[in-house]
């Protein structure tokens, strides 16, 4: 299998007054196509920071992040944004749906931003929502959806561009047990059917048990 994300000697630190805080410490990671990975760790250990580095949202203090064979350090911000849009999808603990837009319009949005015509984007969004059992919710606003439904729409939006890797930051942390299980099972199913790699940052060991690989972040490194 080919590597979608590759980190070499990754470091991330920030200054707090005269003190320097090392969050990520000489970390190496390779995410292969189609695999699923859980990254566990205590609250505040740097899991979300690591996910932002993997996604090119934050810049490392040193080291390399390579996405689909392209070293991010060789790109400007515009190029990184484009590379991210072409290769990655993001799901967060809070759905971040546009509150004044229906479910189908939220899912269509990434395609419209890419310049896809409205009819094709609508057809793709309809197919995606149908595949996750929300065909009866196309025209509902986020406020009219349950928490689990909103998160499923957010997952559909993240996958509509067929990214090579889905990065998820505590995607079930704001849901009750039943909805959390449904959302997790959906992500695993889509990981398999869409051939997208899946990287989930979580503190929930139940999630980790369902992933192919489990990594524990401690003191800025995988233990």
pLDDT of 121: 92
Cβ(87)–Cβ(65) under 8 Å?
Answer: no
What is the structure's pLDDT at 131?
A: 80
What is the pLDDT at residue 1?
55
Which domains does the chain show, CATH number per domain? 35-62+77-222 (3.40.50.300)
Tell me the whole-structure pTM to 2 decimals. Answer: 0.86
Q: What angle do CA 113, 118, 122 make, to 5 degrees?
A: 100
What are the per-10-residue average pLDDT scores of the chain (223 residues)?
A: 87 81 92 91 87 92 93 92 88 81 93 90 90 85 88 86 89 75 78 83 85 91 86
Cα(68)–Cα(217) distance, integer angstroms = 24
């Amino acid at each position: 299998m080919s590597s979608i994300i590759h980190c070499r000697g990754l470091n991330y630190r920030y200054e707090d007054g005269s003190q320097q805080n090392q969050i990520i410490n000489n970390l190496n990671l390779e995410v292969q196509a189609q695999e699923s990975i859980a990254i566990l760790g205590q609250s505040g250990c740097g899991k979300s920071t690591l996910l932002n580095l993997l996604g090119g949202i934050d810049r490392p203090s040193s080291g390399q992040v390579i996405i689909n064979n392209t070293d991010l350090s060789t790109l400007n911000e515009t190029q990184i944004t484009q590379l991210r849009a072409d290769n990655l999808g993001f799901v967060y603990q809070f759905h971040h749906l546009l509150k004044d837009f229906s479910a189908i319009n939220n899912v269509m949005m990434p395609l419209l931003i890419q310049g896809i015509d409205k009819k094709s984007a609508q057809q793709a969004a309809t197919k995606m929502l149908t595949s996750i059992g929300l065909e009866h919710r196309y025209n509902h606003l986020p406020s009219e959806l349950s928490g689990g439904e909103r998160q499923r729409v957010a997952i559909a939006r993240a996958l509509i561009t067929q990214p090579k890797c889905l990065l998820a930051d505590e995607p079930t942390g704001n849901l009750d047990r039943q909805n959390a299980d449904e959302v997790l099972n959906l992500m695993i199913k889509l990981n398999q059917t869409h051939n997208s790699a899946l990287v989930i940052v979580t503190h929930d060991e139940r999630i980790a048990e369902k992933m192919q690989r489990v990594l524990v972040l401690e003191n800025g490194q995988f233990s």
